[in-house]
Amino acid sequence: MDDPAFEAALRAIAADRARGAAELGRAALSLLADAVQTLPAQNRSELRQRLQERANRVAGCRPSMAPVSNLVGQWLRGPDAPAGRDDEDVPTLRRRYRVWARELIERSELAGELAAANAAEYIGPGRTLLTHSRSATVLSVFRRLAGRGTSALVSESRPLNEGLVLARELAALGISVCLITDAQLGLAVGEADAVLIGADSLLPDGGVLNKCGTYPLALAANDHRVPFIVCCERFKRRPPQMGPPELEVMDPGELGYALPDGVTARNRYFDITPARLVTAWVDELGVHETYEPG
């Protein structure tokens, strides 16, 4: 992988509006695993240094998405050589980094699947679930509940309508799906047995960074006493030392129409739902009705 290919792949991750945070975290690892194979380096220390430079850029390319920096950071801290071995040659080290990336990708996928399994068991069959945006983990929960009387209310999730993609995926699973505008989320809560969402990041206090619109949806769920369930693996946890998260702002052109003269537009992708509005956090370890950091 040469420099231009690396830069193009990095830009693609930064611009990706279709995949969720965990998927992009894994894509970031794949990119670095590829890059490490061809980075010019005469010795181990040079390889590590060049890798560090690239990894820092990848880790920072989606500041609202904790899994990207978490997975890249964990990858960079490993791979540990077997005890007592620090004399491997550069090709061996390249290979070890590649294997380590694959292992972390698998751990991340497995964590997401376990979280989904825990959520499906917690929710049980025969429920109408309301969701917002598209989360691969939420899709996995629905996959486990398909054919068991589960139905879905799905918001379109402007500006790019990834809810429409999710609606198609759910219908393909045989789930009864009703699509609504984001503005109807408050109305739809009254028809739902629970709200189920994924997350782009979990904050150290249990707050949920997710597609904008999640926060007012959580308020409506609380106002209706409908459970508000967040399902995501622990790689989504933002480390306290990182400080407050940035809420990514995207191109207003995504709104899809020309703005009148004198009108500006804002396209902020994420909002933060305070922990007090969350009924349960479900992850690979189980269902947590209070949030414990770490």
Binding characters for a second copy, 28-67, by CB under 8 A (x = yes): ----------------------------------------
- In DSSP terms, 283 is beta-bridged to 286
The single residue among 7, 46, 53, 223 that binds a second copy, judged by CB under 8 A, is 223
Distances (CA, A) of 65 to 62, 73, 157, 246: 6, 13, 18, 9
200 is catalytic: yes
Asked if 152 contacts 170 with a C-beta cutoff of 8 angstroms, the reply is: yes
Q: Which stretch binds a second copy (CB under 8 A): 55-63, 74-82, 108-116, 177-185?
A: 177-185
- Spot the catalytic one: 3, 16, 193, 200: 200
The single residue among 1, 81, 171, 242 that binds a second copy, judged by CB under 8 A, is 171
Residue closer to a second copy, measured from CB, 30 or 161: 161
Residue closer to a second copy, measured from CB, 190 or 240: 190
The single-letter DSSP state of residue 258 is P
CA atoms within 13 A on the CB side of 218: 25
- Residues sharing a CB contact under 8 Å with residue 73, sequence separation 6 or more, in sequence order: 55, 59
- Our finding on whether 268 is near a second copy (CB under 8 A) is yes
Interface of this chain with a second copy, residues 225 to 254, rule: CB under 8 A: 247
- Our finding on whether 184 is near a second copy (CB under 8 A) is yes
The single residue among 139, 180, 203, 209 that binds a second copy, judged by CB under 8 A, is 180
CB of 214 to a second copy, least distance (A): 8
- Our finding on whether 264 is near a second copy (CB under 8 A) is yes
Report the alpha-carbon angle 74-80-86, nearest 5: 140
- The DSSP secondary structure of 151-199, one letter per residue, reads EEEEE--TTTTHHHHHHHHHHHTT-EEEEE-GGGHHHHGGG-SEEEE--
Task: Please give the size of the binding site for a second copy, defined by CB under 8 A.
Answer: 47
Q: Which stretch binds a second copy (CB under 8 A): 12-20, 120-128, 156-164, 199-207?
A: 156-164
- Our finding on whether 260 is near a second copy (CB under 8 A) is yes
The single residue among 156, 162, 200, 284 that binds a second copy, judged by CB under 8 A, is 156
- Residues sharing a CB contact under 8 Å with residue 101, sequence separation 6 or more, in sequence order: 29, 30, 32, 33, 75
Asked if 68 contacts 253 with a C-beta cutoff of 8 angstroms, the reply is: no
- Our finding on whether 90 is near a second copy (CB under 8 A) is no
- Our finding on whether 181 is near a second copy (CB under 8 A) is yes
- Our finding on whether 20 is near a second copy (CB under 8 A) is no
Contact positions toward a second copy, by CB under 8 A? Answer: 155-159, 161, 164, 167-168, 170-172, 174, 177-187, 211-213, 215-217, 219-220, 223, 247, 255, 257, 259-268, 271
